[in-house]
Each structure stands twice: as structure tokens, then as C-alpha cells.
Structure 1
Amino acid sequence: MILASLAMFGLYRLAHRYDQTVTREELLDPDARRSRTDLDGPLNFLLIGTDRWRSSSATADRRSDTILIVHVPAGGREAFLMSVPRDLRVIIPAAPGFGGGEDKINAAYQHGGGGESGTRLLSATLAQLTGIRFDGAAKVDFSGFRDVIDHLGGVRICVDTQFRSIHTDRVFTPGCQEMDGGTALDFARQRYDLPNGDYDRQTHQQQLLRAILQRTSETSIRTNPVRLDQVIRAVGNSLTVDTNGVPLADLVLTLRDLPADSLRGIRLPSYPLTVDEVSYVVLEEGGAGIFTAIQNQRVPQWARANPRWVTQL
């Protein structure tokens, strides 16, 4: 009990120490924010990955390359990563300089002006579509996560099908392999030359998050203070968060027992559709019940009943 208490105290102090390295913004729209004062019960988080690495221009941070809804059932022992297709056809609410209307969901970030305001409009769009309210949000600069992966010593990812990257001309061959930061991000960015296009890219992004969590949980990282310091600082430099008023240290403690093998990938029930020569992804009626399952705290049961939408990580 004494050792456990000391370990928990050390984790809390560590999280508190690096609290200042993370940028804080109001990423959630008021209509997308769940009002609560603690972390008891199920949790819903919005994770946005931006593509600032593509350019150094002032407008580079105007596209949300990755949109994930992370659902953690009560107890914090497993988590479901639900990827939202970038081309999902939605109704985007009005915002300053934008009158609202139908568009692809990744355009919500752009219509909102990118950054803090863009994320708020995106969160409002998702809340309107799904009925889900969020306990927090994070915006990730994936160019910075290249450094995180390199400080971790790389990550192990299993490639299921051969494809060539259009970004680097690198060929990914089937099999489990160690990847450095640049290779892993290239793997997660690719959507062309894949059997299922953007759906496969969503799975690869989920695999990358699992691989990062797996590597950070290894004893060699946790017991090496230099590498741990490098990793946490790199994460802090790449992350903008909205913890909904909850101290970051409390959030870290709540999720400390989440093992990498407890992550479950979910493909949002949807299908591709061309409308007026524009390619969209269209949501199945009611999202095939996934949004209701999140609201009613029955996602594990939904996943068992709908294996076709569960991806293997």
C-alpha cells in the first residue's frame, strides 16, 4: 500500500510538473461541452489531428486531417476509438463569416477559421450530428508527434497489405515492423493505393495511437528519467487541450490503468456516395445505433453485436 501510494503520488507530481508544457484553449463549443465537476462514470473526448506539417504557411493549420471520438466506459479499463471520415456529409452550424450549410465534416474546421475557433465549430457539428457531449478535447500537431515517436525509440506496427506512399514513394510491406517517427506518420497519412481508401487510413491512425500507448507503457520508458522527460516535453509541445475545467493531473490519474491492448477501433457505420460529382461519405441511418450506445453507456455491448464495424488493432 505504501509503495502504491508513493507511485500514485509520483505520477501526480509528474503530471502536475508538465501541466505547463501543454497549451490550453477553449476547443469545445458550449453546445458540445458536458457539464461536470469530476471524472466519475464514462468519458467522451474529441481528438483532432491537424496537418500543419504540410506547410509552414499561416493557412496550413486549416484542415482537420484526423477526427476521433474517444469513448472510455466507466472504470477506465478500456477505450473505443471511433474515427469520423473526413468526407462525412454533415450540416455545419453557422459561425462568424460562415452562414452554415451542408459540407464535408473536415470543412467545419476550415469554416471556423482553424485553430481554436475551428475546433469549436467542428465540435458543435459533431454534437449536433451525434447528440454526444464531450468531457474534453485535444488538438494534436502530428509533425510534433514525429519527435514523440523518435524519443520513444520508434513504435511497432503491423502492416496488413502492401502499398506505396504517394508522399515519400516508400513501399510498406505486410508484416510487423519497427517504425521511426517519420515512417510511422507516413504510414498513418496514406489513403491512396489502399483497398478501402480512407477507411484503411482511419484504421492505420488507430493502430498508430495504440502503438504509441504500447511503447509508453513499457518499463524501459517509465524507468528512464531522461527519455521520459524528452517524451513528455515532446507531447506537451505537440498538444493543445481543453480538459473541461478538470486538472490535467487528475485526468492522467484517471486514465493511468488504461492498457494498450484495451483499445478498440470502431469504423463509423457509413458508406461512400457521389452527389453532384462530389465524393462524400454518408452516415447509415442513426449511425447504426452507435451514438445511442455511447449515450446509454452500452458501447461494449454494441461492439459485440456489430463486429463488422469493429477494427482489429
Structure 2
Amino acid sequence: MLLAGAAVAAIEILHRRYDGAVARGTLLDPSARRDRTDLDGTLNYLLVGSDRRPGESGPDQRSDTILLVHVPAGTKRAYLISVPRDLLVSIPPAPNGYGGGSDKINSAYEHGGGGEAGVRLLSATLARLTGLRFDGAALVDFAGLRQVVDLLGGIRMCVDTPVRSIHTGRLFEPGCQQMDGTRALDYVRQRYDLPDGDYGRQRHQQQLLRAMLDRAGETNLRDDPVRLDRLIRAVGASLTVDTNGVPLQDLALTLRGLPPDGLTGVQIPSHPETIDEVSYVVLDDGGDQLFAAVRGTRVPGWVTANPRWVTRL
């Protein structure tokens, strides 16, 4: 009885330690929030990667990455739907005085004031665009993920075309290669030197998430509690989450059976277009069909019928 009691107490202490490492926030606008999340049903999450730097929280930051994560009931598959950062959308008014209007979707984060308020306006914009309500959201400091990749011992990324970094001048040669956090984050932020521009960048960021899951599965962290502690705290330092009232440990238990090879990357049917000398991405009819498939839990069928917009990760 004493040993059992000690084990229960130890588990509770560990839970509180790691649960407290992740910041909580209100990231979803009421118009974008699902009334009640059923972990046994279909789940839709919003993942926002910000280019903010540590200590910066002003409105002059834009959302560097926007992903809709669709998990059908059973949690054996997940679809990572990348939203083009230059997608032309209608942004609703914000409490900070922004009056709303047409703009690139990654501007919604800035118009909302950055941080949690910025994600709320972005979520309202996406709810208006897609007709979806979300089961939760996460704001990820992509620069902070550098440490996570390093603690995993680096990840394996396959470069599909030569690209030179506009940030460092580094040339990424084609081929599969081991990358540390700095190199990996630099690679997945490039778009100007890619043949397909931001669409290639979306694909590379989807591949980054797959590579991180692969590496985490290969590493037996349970046998290295010090490293596990550092990794969990690094992840927590990079995240602000809104789980729609679901305990974080329950969500983790639900998603833990999702295999890395169960991920599929999806891009929204769209095309570049210059309007009044400004470059935008404009939604195609297929984009509305994709959103309807997500709302109607018919994404597997849509993926089969639209291979052009699908990335096998």
C-alpha cells in the first residue's frame, strides 16, 4: 500500500511539473470555438507558428505558419492542411479598433495585436473562410523549436531542390541529410528560391513536423529522464495552448497512438495573383470543396480525388 501510494504521488508530481510547463491562453475567438470537444469524435485544431522573437509581443509580428490539423475519429490519421500566408481573405473587425477588411491572411495576427489576441482574430478569420469551429489551438514560437530539434539529436530532412537561404546565405543541396535545429528551421522558412515558392515552403514545414515525430519515436527518452525533462520543458517554452477545456493529459493520451506515417500533408487549392500591384494567393473552387470535406469528415475521399494538392509525408 505504501509503495502504491508513493507511485501515485510520484505520477501526480510529474503530471503537475510537465503540465505547468506549457502556457495556457485563450487563442480561439468565440465564433471559431467548438461548443464542446468530444475526444472520441473528429477533431480540428489550429496551429500557428509565429516569427516573434523572445521578449517581443508587439503587433509588428506576422504568423509565419498557419496549419489546420484535421484528425478523423479514431485518431489513426491526421491531415496537416497548410494555409498560404498570402491568401486573400476577409478579416473581421477586432476589439483593438481594427475595422476589418480584405488583406493577406497572415496579416490577421498583426491586425489583432499579435500574441493571443492576434491568434483570436486569425481564428475568427479562418472560421469565416472555412465554416469550421475548432477544438483547440496552439501558438508555436518556431524559433523556440530550434532547441527542441537539438535535444532530439537533430532530424533527418530530404532536400528536394537546391535552395539558398535569404537569411544566412547557406546553400541547401538536394538529398537526405541530418540537420540540427538552426539548419532545419532555416531550411523550412525559405520560399523565394523555390520553384513553387510558398507552396514548397508549406510542404517543407509539413515535412519538418513529420521528421520531428519520427525522431521522437526513434529516441528512447524514457531511459534518459534528464533529457526527457529538458525536452518537455523546451516544448513547453515554445507553446501556448488552448485545449477548449479538455485536460492536456487527456488530449495527449488521445493523440499518442497517432503514428508518424499516419500524417498526410494537404495544400489548399489556390493560385498566385497580382491585384493592384500586390501579390496575393487567391482561393480556387477546389478550396471551398476541401473546406466542405473537412466539415463533412470526407477528407480521405477528397485526398484520393485531388492528388495534386497532397504531400505524402
* TM-score class normalised by the smaller sequence: over 0.9
- The structural deviation recorded for 1:40 is 1.4
Q: Which residue of 2 aligns with 1:117?
A: 117
The structural deviation recorded for 1:58 is 4.8
Structure-2 residue corresponding to 1:215: 215
Q: Give the structure 2 partner of residue 310 of structure 1.
A: 310
- Tell me how far apart the structure 1 counterparts of residues 261 and 240 of structure 2 sit (CA, whole Å): 26
What is the CA–CA distance in structure 2 between the aligned matches of 1:141 and 1:167, rounded to whole Å? Answer: 18
Alignment of 1:236-255 (within 5 A): 236-255=236-255
Matched residue pairs, number? 304
Paired letter, 1:196: D
Residue number in structure 1 paired with 2:284: 284
User: In 1, are the aligned partners of 2:152 and 2:219 still within 8 Å (CA)?
Assistant: no
After TM superposition, give the deviation of residue 219 of structure 1 in Å.
4.2
Q: In structure 1, how many angstroms separate the alpha carbons of the residues matched to 2:12 and 2:309?
A: 37
Q: Does the 8 A contact of 1:12 with 1:253 survive in 2?
A: no
Amino acid at match of 2:65: T
Equivalent residue number for residue 296 of structure 1: 296
Q: For 1:32-47, what aligned pairs fall within 5 Å after superposition?
A: 32-47=32-47
Tell me whether 1:130 sits opposite 2:134 in the alignment.
no
The answer on 1:62 being equivalent to 2:69 is no
Partner AA of 1:274 in structure 2: T
One-letter code aligned to 2:127: A
Deviations 1:209-251 (A, max 9, x none): 1111111112423432222111111000110000000000000
Post-superposition CA distance 1:278-301 (Å, at most 9, x none) = 000001126151111111111111
Q: What one-letter code is carried by the residue in structure 1 that aligns with 2:215? A: R
Matched AA of 1:86: R
| Letter aligned with residue 285 of structure 1 | D
Moved more, 37-46 or 183-192: 37-46
For structure 1, list consecutive stretches of 5 or more residues without a partner in the other structure. 1-9
Aligned Cα RMSD in Å? 1.9
Between the aligned partners of 1:60 and 1:118, the Cα distance in structure 2 is 8
Residue 154 of structure 1 aligns with an amino acid whose one-letter code is G
Alpha-carbon deviation of 1:59? 3.0
1:21 aligned counterpart, secondary structure = coil
> Who is 1:256 aligned against?
256
CA distance in 2, matches of 1:11, 1:251: 17
Question: Which residue of structure 2 lines up, in the alignment, with residue 84 of structure 1?
Answer: 83
Q: 1:15 to 1:294 in 2, by over 3 A?
A: farther
The whole-number CA distance in structure 2 between the counterparts of 1:302 and 1:22 is: 35
What is the distance in 1 between the residues matched to 2:288 and 2:205?
A: 23
Looking at structure 1, the residues matched to 153 and 241 of structure 2 have their Cα atoms a distance apart, in angstroms, of 25
TM-score, with structure 1 as normaliser: 0.93
Point out where structure 2 has 5 or more consecutive residues left out of the alignment: 1-9
Q: Is the 8 A contact 1:108 1:125 kept in 2?
A: yes
SS in structure 2 at match of 1:18 = helix
Distance 2:274 2:235 in 1: 39
Q: Distance in 1 between matches of 2:276 and 2:11?
A: 54
In the other structure, the counterpart of 1:24 is 24
Between the aligned residues of both structures, percent identity stands at: 67
Q: Which amino acid aligns with 2:67?
A: L
Q: Which moved more, 1:31-40 or 1:199-208?
A: 31-40
Q: Is the 8 A contact 2:37 2:135 kept in 1?
A: no
Deviation at 1:274, TM superposition (A): 0.4
CA distances 1:259-309 after superposition (whole Å, capped 9, x unpaired): 111110001110000000000000112615111111111111110111111
SS at match of 1:202: helix
Q: In 2, are the aligned partners of 1:15 and 1:252 still within 8 Å (CA)?
A: no
The answer on whether the counterparts of 2:59 and 2:114 sit within 8 Å (CA) in structure 1 is no
Q: Is the 8 A contact 2:59 2:110 kept in 1?
A: no
Partner deviation per Cα, 1:107-165 (whole Å, 9 max, x = no partner): 11111000111100000000000001100000001121100000000011111111111
1:100 corresponds to? 100
Letter in 2 for 1:183: R
Match of 1:52 in 2: 52
Runs of 4+ in 1 over 6 A off after TM superposition: 10-13
Distance 2:70 2:64 in 1: 20
> Shift of residue 44 of structure 1?
0.3
* Counterpart Cα distance in 1 of 2:50 and 2:90: 21
Does the residue aligned with 2:304 lie in a helix, a strand or coil?
A: helix
